[in-house]
């Protein structure tokens, strides 16, 4: 029988703005000496409109037990809301830093930007939700690919 543990984490953002993050998983283990908590098995993260699903999530804390970084691994799926669009897709790893509101996705990144339906395939994608900016990086044998529709007058 699987037990689902729910942990509510309050994340502190710049300008003292706070938002609640909910993490659900089959199991979690907290290590106060390492200042980290590891969630495993059917991990689901929800923060406002953003969601992340993965097989593993590690939350790193500072000395005041405030979360400073989240790292999701293994079959990462995500939906991230920007000011004028939503990014949906997958990657092998995802890192989120609450203070800067930056997501870094690496390894086999495949994203779709809605509503425009732009598709992104890359080795590394950085999504700066605070500044509504996306940086895409490829490699020699695995270039970044950006696919979008062009309306042509006939």
What's the total number of domains in the chain?
Answer: 1
In a domain, 119, yes or no: yes
Q: What is the CATH number of the domain that holds 140?
A: 2.60.450.10
In a domain, 10, yes or no: yes
Query: Confidence class of residue 57 from pLDDT cuts 50, 70 and 90?
Result: very high
In a domain, 130, yes or no: yes
In a domain, 152, yes or no: no
In a domain, 153, yes or no: no
Instruction: Supply the pTM of this predicted model.
Output: 0.78
| Structure confidence at residue 145 (pLDDT) | 62
In a domain, 85, yes or no: yes
Q: 123: domain range?
A: 5-147
In a domain, 52, yes or no: yes
| Structure confidence at residue 139 (pLDDT) | 63
The three-state DSSP-derived secondary structure of the chain is CCCCEEEEEEEECHHHCEEEEEEEECEEEEECCCCEEEEEEEEEEEECCEEEEEEEEEEEECCCCCEEEEEEEEEEEEEEECCCCEEEEEEEEEEEECCCCEEEEEEEEEEEEECCCEEEEEEEEEEECCCCEEEEECECCECCEEECCCCCCC
In a domain, 30, yes or no: yes
């Amino acid at each position: 029988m699987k037990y689902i543990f729910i942990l509510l984490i309050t994340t502190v953002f710049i300008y003292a703005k706070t938002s609640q993050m909910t993490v659900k998983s089959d199991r979690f283990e907290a290590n106060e000496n390492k200042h980290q908590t590891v969630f495993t098995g059917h991990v689901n993260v929800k923060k406002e409109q953003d969601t992340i699903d993965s097989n593993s999530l590690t939350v790193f804390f500072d000395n005041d037990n405030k979360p400073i970084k989240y790292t999701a691994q293994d079959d990462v799926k995500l939906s991230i809301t920007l000011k004028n669009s939503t990014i949906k897709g997958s990657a092998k790893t995802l890192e989120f830093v609450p203070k800067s509101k930056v997501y870094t996705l690496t390894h086999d990144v495949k994203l779709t930007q809605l509503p425009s339906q732009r598709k992104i395939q890359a080795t590394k994608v950085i999504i700066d939700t605070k500044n509504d900016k996306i940086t895409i990086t490829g490699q020699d044998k695995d270039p970044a690919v950006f696919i979008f529709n062009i309306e042509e007058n006939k």
